[in-house]
Structures are given as structure tokens and as C-alpha cells.
Structure 1
Amino acid sequence: MTVTLFPIRLFIAAFMMLLAWPFAFIASVGRSETAVEPQCLWRKLVDVVLKTIMRVMWFAGGFHWISIKGRRALPAEASILTLGPHSSYFDAMPVTMTMASIVMKAESKDIPVWGTLIKYIRPVFVSRSDQDSRRKTVEEIKRRAHSGGAWPQIMIFPEGTCTNRSCLITFKPGAFIPAVPVQPVVIRYPNKLDTITWTWQGPGAFKILWLTLCQLHNEFEIEYLPIYSPSEEEKKNPALFAHNVRRLMAKALQVPVTDYSFEDCQLAMAEGQIRLPVDTCLLEFAKLVRSLGLKRANSEKLLQDYGKRAAKLQGQRLSLEDFAQFLDLPVSDELRHMFALFDENEDHSMDVREFVIAFSVVCRPAKTLDTIRLAFQMFEAEEDGAITENELMCILRTALGVGELKVGRLFRAVDEEDSGKITFVCCFPALTLVPLPCPVLAESFREFADQHPDFAEQYLYSDNAGFGSSSPSHAANGFCADFSPSEQKKLD
């Protein structure tokens, strides 16, 4: 198929894209991206032409028959269509079939040919360079959603990332903040051989395209579920609205739901100098952070504030009420659950420094050394700015979300002078205006990390079982929750 069917299909698909470009370009000239304009007759004809061209392209790719179930709502009935599960770039088929708007990166409109086709459907653009982009995107979705059907419908994949279709992950609230009726739409690829799925791990984009075009026939199903109108409570609570729509879609797909999200994928796959083990409990902690609304746009500033306040406590253990006061939050079930994660002695107390370390990892998962620097600032002794081996173990154990961790070999590798203490950075009193208390023999962790960028692989992972293992540990500990078998099955 690689030397016969694949090149023919690839040529036809590319030709159809080029054929669609002039129609999309002419129809986009002079049209406002912000104001509603009536769809005149000739633009309606362009819609029909583009849909036909796109259908021929999909047909050439092996999607000979597309099964459609249910009735698509009119824009005046439901201005937002929520699609799931999102598993591939082939999910663009419903968009080309309806010419509905989508939410896309602003950079996409600059891509030759493809960018012109994207601009034709008048998407809601998200700019990564604009720090206020998220708010503007939500406001634009609300403006269109409340237009009474004047704007084209918006198709949104609320999962926010591609998954393997085995479950539905947490929905982002953007599609539900406008508090208007939505139409859930489920999509299926019932092929015996899955060449469609494009996720964090697995075949790349071109390999997926190659394998799919080599199949004689590719099946695709789209089902429009009944319109879902939010209750008064759901209008006030977008997260509840999203949760209930997700549950409805999962029932139609006959798949389970999981409370993990796109941010959890980023956390689990982050490529810092220390990677998370497979049995980390930071994912459970991240869920609680989201539910408590702690992760905000100014998380960096919040982290520094937490770090300074935690350092002043000097390891003083806090009660649940003290912890609530530290976070300026009321006592709730979520807060109790988070407190229990750090109550390692089960004496109803916790070291808030451990919370700050875990929060730092969740907020900036790829910035390993920034988290360790913050931890050193909270744990270091006032007289010499150094920490001991036990304190390093506590820092790294919390940063990795594990119960037990051996750091002796790593500590000794840093502490070459065998002083029993290490600092994060070396300080040189002779070069400063004010003499700084600094242990002459204490070694610098930062200098060691710079000289040994793979220090975790060399000195940490080899001494600790479970790193890279596929079987998670169920041992209860001071940070990991003691998951029951049924709860662990949900996590898996």
C-alpha cells in the first residue's frame, strides 16, 4: 500500500486542499472577523463547494461512508457543540462537514493554504503571546454564544488534548461559561486496526497519516445527542455544567470518566532534570489544587509568598485550621483531603513546607531546579544557609510524590568534603559588601547539578525501586494517599 495506494491518496488530498484555497481566499476577502455579516447567496455557494471538496478529500483518504446519527441543532437552538473524545487531527471531519467555527491558536492563520481555510470558518483565535488571551477567548465565545444564532456554531473539544478514547478526561470550562444550551456530539472510529489515535506517546503525526491512508477503508461515526440546557445551578457553576455534559457523553460512548486533565498530562510528561515516577501522587494533589482554585495566573508570585511565610515557620507543624488560615481558605472536604496527604504521622499536623514544594512542582513541572531552590530557602539553617541529608530526602520525596526515597548516595556525591551539609549555591564572603554566614565546607547543589545534568539517573533512580516501573506501589506514606484497590483501578 505504501508504494501504490498511499501516494495516490496523498496526492489527491493535497490537490483538494489546493483546490479549496482560492474559494476560501475569495470568500474571506473583506469579511470582518469581529462583526456579524449576513451570509449572502454567493458565500452560501462557496460553503457548498468547500464542503464538497473536503468530502472528496476524506473519501480519497479512505473515509468512504460517514455514519451520522441524530440531528444537528440549529445555531439558534444550540450555539455551541461539544465534541469528544478528541483523539486525532482526523477529528477535523465534523468541522469540514459543517463549516462550524472552532477555537484555534492564532499562529495557525499564518500557515500557507491551511491558514486561509481556517480563516474562512471564522474561528476564535487564542494567542499564546498575549497574557490576557484566555479571558479574551472566553469573552469572544460568550459574545458569539449569545448572538441568537447570528454567528456560526462553535465546535469545541472540551478535553483540550488528544487522548486514546478509553475514557473522557476532565472537561475545560470554556464551552460552559456562557451558560447557554449546548449540543453534545460524540465521535467514534470503529476500525479493527486503530491507525487514528495521536496522543502524547505513540506514533507521530506523519506515521498516523501514512498508516491511515494505507488502509483500504476507514470508518467514522458521528452522533448528535439531544440538546443539553443547563439548570440554574449549572449556569452559576460551569464546572458542574461541564461535569454533567461529560457524564452524558461518556454514557453514550460507554466509556468511563477520569478526573485527570490536560494539565495532569503536562505534569506527568514534564521533562525537567527530575522526572516523576509512575506511582507519583502529585496527580492526586494537582486535582485538589484545581478544585480549591489555588492555581492562578499569578502562581509564581503566590509561590514566593508561600515560600517566605513557610520559611518563617521554621518547620512548625500546622493543624487543619492553621493550614486553612495559611491558604486563606475555608475548611472544606477538599482541604481536609489535601491536609491528609501531608499528615505523615497521623497526628493531625503537617509541615507546610512540603505543601509549598508540591505546589511548586504542579505550577512549574519542568523547572526542577527552581523548585529545589525554593525548597532550600525554606529548609536552610539561618546560621549557615545549609541543609542536611534528612532535609534533602524530605525535599526530593515531596517533589517526586513518593513515600520513601533513598538520597544517601546523591547527598554524598554533592558533599565531597563530608561536612554533613550542602547549600544550593556557593557564597563567597570576600566578594560581598556585607559578610554572609556561609559554611566553608558546604558544597553547592546547583554547581553539582550543572556539572551532572543527569544526576537523578546516576545517583537517585538506581537506588530507588519503582522508577520507570509499571506497577505502582500501594504503600501508605506521608504524601501519597492510601488508595484502595478500587480507587487505584480508577487511577490506572
Structure 2
Amino acid sequence: MTDSHKGNYCLECDAKNGDCSDTFKYTNDSNKLRDSAIGYIAQNGSSHIENKTKHTENRYISSSNACRMSTMTAETPKIVSFDQHTNPFVFKCEMDFFRKIRTAIFTIFIVPCRLLIITSLLIIAWILATIGLWGLTMDDLNVKPISGWRRIIQVVAAQAMYGMYFFGSFHGVKITGQPQATSKEAPILVLAPHSSFFDSISVVLFGPPSVLAKAETASLPFLGKLINFTQPIYVWREDPNSRQNTIKTVIERANSRDDWPQIIIFPEGTCTNRSCVLSFKPGAFYPGVPVQPVCIRYPNKFDTVTWTWEGPGALKLLWLTMCSVYTRCELEFLPVYLPTQEEKNNPKLYATNVRNVMAKALGLPTSDLTYDDCKMMIRARQMNLPHFDDIVEIEKLRQKIGLTLTSIEEQVVASSLVHESNCIVSIPEFALRLQISVDDPITAELFRIFDTEMSGTIDFREYLLCAVYLIKQSVPTMDLMQIVSRMYDNCGKGAGRLTRTALVHLLKHTIAASIDECVDIFADIDFERRGFVTIDNLREYFESKPEFAHLFEIPTTAKKTTQSSTTKPKSQ
């Protein structure tokens, strides 16, 4: 996996991206979500859409040379509450029989020719970049914008790069909307939704502008020279002050009197499947200068460009794209957004309002779901946690009611007071055990998630298992099992003894084991026929089996910290 948009770097984003994504369509007239994804779709499933009618007053400045100001009111787009059925970071790309035949034919006869032309153009662009950078050091590139004959060569190199896209099947690139503003009118270009490394076509079409890039990309063969020629703002990931230094550089360039090229930023911070517009990172909005939003669309019948972290890899997408007759891409320039004084003082408000404007123009809902939320949800699904599809909502409700600020759930689990005989509770008992108000609507909402049969009672262990998972996201699965095993000990009163039935309950919701698999594991461990196994027996068994090695690894899908989300708002 590589970071989003490959050579480019999304400000404040350290998230890895992958491949392709599920396509989810929305009907603009009714704002209802229509599931069209393959993978996480459930039969007759539907998403819950929260209709926010809040209005924000957005002031714009015209992108013409006259910079005529206007004022308009934009309705806040619909906000989607996502579950696993509408994961914006997932996509599966499937071809029908006739497309497979055409792909095979193109692979044999067309792709080799396209690769030859693309390679030639890449070499030409690299030679031009090498000439343009001759005699310049990295310090020179950071201090003063390129001008004169170097600037001319830069534009020619960008045209050669565009030729690579053109011969790679991007024949239908369309630029619509307002004229592109100058760097003085809008120092920053904000692009969304960010869904592919092919979004980098904007870099060769728009000037070229400067990009945000990881420092290590400077040493990449061929691409390093080309990226350097855009005078990028490099992000040094090993430097703890990198984020602050990057924002400082953006502010300096945006407010400089020199003729710096515009800075292009993908504020979502990661790639999605274009089913929604994620929260914008505030980095692009700290300077408080006007920005010009640019909407990206790929109106293709067969999607070969979308690249998220679960789906086809980059090489497969490149291959499928070059096997296409043509690939359409639309880039729509919206009017330059002129921030109010309040937005200048509050970059997060500025980012949110710009996102709302872009979401309305795209006809898409917005989502406060983050990349970390989806990683958390995917791991919960892989473990088969109870109600894994609601895990993000459970975490938000825990935050709202203040449970994330206490350790009550861990104390309840550690006390061994919850077991088979007393795990079924009503809402008053639920509130009492968690020391929260039974009259609080959030308590009822949290309880309702687990009361799927509307019986008025739930298995309290299911809630505690989800809560411990949310608290201990950074611990290996085996350690998580050891923590919650006390709740399934129905024969030893907290001594750590698990009957076959108890083991089934434990493994079903921690490693997604089937009943047959659980029975086999129990039989292998309990060879003395004692009728129970201990958690230590289980650990030793898993340690002896290479196929269970992942249970002892720190999960890569865990959030950085759970506590950080309790002190900071999720939208950025």
C-alpha cells in the first residue's frame, strides 16, 4: 500500500490508501441512498440519512480578473450516518464476460503500444525537468518561484505528462465551471472528492501547481525530478514538527508577493469511493486566504480509477484503465470562496463550509466518518463483534454520555460480576451498572442498538465486549480475549475456566470462528476430558499454531488513540 495520490501528500494525512472502491449512488432529487455496492451490501439494507437543514452564508469572489464579489446562501448537504454497508473506503471491481474478452484483446494488441508511448513521454518529461532544474538546489526551489525559461520548460514538461494520461485512455477530460483563478485571486486549489492516484491529472492541467509531497518522493527514479520541478512543499514524516512547518510554508507562500504557483490540496486526506464527501482537514484553510474549490468526477460506465485501501491494487487499476477505449474525467471549477473573518479565525469552520459548498455542487452527502473509523469498523467486522456494523455509532454515543472519560466498563469486566447467569439486563439495570442516567435519551439510544428483538432486555456481555474493543484497540486480539474471558466463565466463577459453550461464545465474537471450529479447538485442548479449558490453555494452543500468529500482533487497523477522540471533535 502507498499513501494517497502516490507522490502527492494530503496535508495532515498519514493514512495509507489502497485500491478500488465500492460505488454507491445517490438520487439527488430525494437525497436517498441507493445501495449499488458489491461486498458489504446486505439484502434490503438501507442507510440512515440525517437531514440537516442548517444554512451557512457563503461569500464568494468571482474568479474573473475583476474579482467581483457576490453573496449566496448554500444549504448544508445531507449528512450520512455510515455503517458497513456504505463504507466509503471499499470497492469491488467485477467485469462481465464481454468486458473480460475486450480486456484480453486490449492487453495483447493495445496496451503494449500505449506503454511504449507513455514510457517515451515520461522520458521526455524527465529530460525537460532535469534541464529545468539544472543549477538549482533544493534551497533555491524553496526560496523563490521558478520563472523565465525554466517556467516555459515547466509548462512543456506538464504537456508531455498530460500526453501520458491521454495515451493511457484519458481522452475525455473536460474542464467546466468558472475560469481558473490566478494565484493572487486564489493561492490554494481545493480538490474533492479524492478517489484515485489519477486525480494527479489536475497537476499537469492546472499550471502546473505546487503539490504537497512526502520528502522521500524526491529520490524516486523519474518521478522525483518531475515532482521537484513543481516546487513542492515537502513533508518530513520523521520530523515531529513537520505538520506545523508544512502549514507555515503554506501560509508563507499563500501570502507572498512573489509569483508562486497555486498550491493544490486534497483536504479529505485519503481516497474514497466518491459516495460522499468526507470531513476536510483544516490544513489548507489555516492561511485564511481565498481558495478555489474544484470538483472531480469520473462519469464512466465501468470504473477503473477508484483507489481505496480495500479492493484492486494500483497496478491492476492501471492495467484496466489502459484496457479501456477511453476514460472520462470532469473537473469543475467553482467560484473562488472568500472566507469571512469568522472563518479566518476558525479554520475548521472554514473547511466545513467549503466542504458543504462542494458537496452541494457534486450532489453528494457529507460524512463525518473518518479513515480511522472505517479501519475500526473493518476490524470489528473481521472479529465478528456483536453489532459490528454499529461500532462507530456505539463509540460516538459512549463519548456523548461520558463513558469514554471513565473506566467503569473495564472495572465491570475485571470484577467478574457479569457472567452467564446474570448477563441479561433491562435498561434500568444497564444504566445502573454503567453508572449513567436511565432518563438520558442517549442511554436509550445506546441500549436500543443491542436490543435488536425489541424485547426490552439485552445480553450485557455484548455491550461490554464492544466497549472493551473500543478501549483496547491497540492491543492484540489474544490479549483482548483474555480480558473479556471472565464474562464467559460459567463454571469457575471468575477462575478463568471455559466450558465448550462458553468457548463458542468467546471465539465466535473475537476471531469469527464457526461452531465447528470452536468445538474442534475445545477438543484439541481438552484432551483430558475435564469439561473445561482455561484462557492460558487457549493462549498456548494459539501460540503453537502458525495460522493464529496474527492474534498476537498489534492490529494495524487500530486507531492511534482512543482518548484523543474524546478531547477533540471528529470533524476537522
Instruction: Give the TM interval when normalised to the shorter protein.
Output: 0.5 to 0.7
CA deviations 1:339-387 (Å, max 9, x no partner) are 77579996999789546413146x449x422432443589888974556
Corresponding residue for residue 50 of structure 2: none
Within the alignment, does 1:3 sit opposite 2:96 as a pair?
no
Runs of 5+ consecutive residues of structure 1 not aligned to the other structure: 296-301, 326-330, 426-443, 457-492
Indicate conservation of the 8 Å contact 2:386/2:509, yes or no: no
Indicate conservation of the 8 Å contact 1:87/1:198, yes or no: yes
CA deviations 1:149-174 (Å, max 9, x no partner) are 43543322233333332333344444
Within the alignment, does 1:371 sit opposite 2:473 as a pair?
no
SS at structure 2 position matched to 1:32: helix
Residue 288 of structure 1 and its aligned partner are, at CA, apart by 5.6
Within the alignment, does 1:144 sit opposite 2:255 as a pair?
no
Distance 1:153 1:186 in 2: 16
What is the aligned-residue RMSD (CA, Å)? Answer: 4.7
Task: Name which structure has the greater RCO, CA cutoff 8 Å, separation 6+.
Answer: 2
Corresponding residue for residue 361 of structure 2: 252
Indicate conservation of the 8 Å contact 2:387/2:450, yes or no: no
Pairing of 1:105-124 with structure 2 (within 5 A):
105-124=214-233
The 1:454–1:186 alpha-carbon spacing in structure 2 relative to 1, beyond 3 Å, is same
SS at structure 1 position matched to 2:389: coil
Indicate conservation of the 8 Å contact 1:171/1:261, yes or no: no
CA deviations 1:91-120 (Å, max 9, x no partner) are 110012232233333333332111221222
CA deviations 1:278-307 (Å, max 9, x no partner) are 963223335567989999xxxxxx99x888
Within the alignment, does 1:447 sit opposite 2:544 as a pair?
no
Distance 1:33 1:356 in 2: 53
Residue 254 of structure 1 and its aligned partner are, at CA, apart by 1.8
The 1:423–1:102 alpha-carbon spacing in structure 2 relative to 1, beyond 3 Å, is farther
Within the alignment, does 1:93 sit opposite 2:188 as a pair?
no
Within the alignment, does 1:19 sit opposite 2:124 as a pair?
yes
Corresponding residue for residue 144 of structure 2: 37
Pairing of 1:112-261 with structure 2 (within 5 A):
112-127=221-236, 129=238, 132=240, 136-150=242-256, 151-231=260-340, 234=343, 238-261=347-370
SS at structure 2 position matched to 1:3: helix
Distance 1:318 1:206 in 2: 51
Residue 263 of structure 1 and its aligned partner are, at CA, apart by 1.9
SS at structure 2 position matched to 1:222: strand
Structure 1 length as normaliser, TM-score? 0.67
Indicate conservation of the 8 Å contact 1:357/1:395, yes or no: no
Distance 2:157 2:541 in 1: 59
Q: Which amino acid aligns with 1:162?
A: C
Indicate conservation of the 8 Å contact 1:163/1:199, yes or no: yes
Q: Which amino acid aligns with 2:146?
A: Q
Identity, % of aligned positions? 37
Indicate conservation of the 8 Å contact 2:234/2:246, yes or no: no
Distance 1:143 1:335 in 2: 46
Residue 311 of structure 1 and its aligned partner are, at CA, apart by 5.7
Residue 186 of structure 1 and its aligned partner are, at CA, apart by 0.6
Corresponding residue for residue 428 of structure 1: none
Indicate conservation of the 8 Å contact 1:310/1:378, yes or no: no
SS at structure 2 position matched to 1:196: coil
Within the alignment, does 1:285 sit opposite 2:394 as a pair?
yes
Distance 2:384 2:548 in 1: 11
SS at structure 1 position matched to 2:138: coil
Match of 2:535 among 409, 418, 424: 424
Runs of 5+ consecutive residues of structure 2 not aligned to the other structure: 1-105, 419-428, 550-572
The 1:238–1:310 alpha-carbon spacing in structure 2 relative to 1, beyond 3 Å, is farther
Structure 2 length as normaliser, TM-score? 0.59
SS at structure 2 position matched to 1:103: strand
Q: Which amino acid aligns with 1:136?
A: S
Indicate conservation of the 8 Å contact 2:384/2:509, yes or no: no
The 1:209–1:235 alpha-carbon spacing in structure 2 relative to 1, beyond 3 Å, is same
Distance 2:338 2:456 in 1: 45
SS at structure 2 position matched to 1:102: strand
Residue 219 of structure 1 and its aligned partner are, at CA, apart by 2.1
Within the alignment, does 1:51 sit opposite 2:158 as a pair?
yes
Residue 223 of structure 1 and its aligned partner are, at CA, apart by 0.8
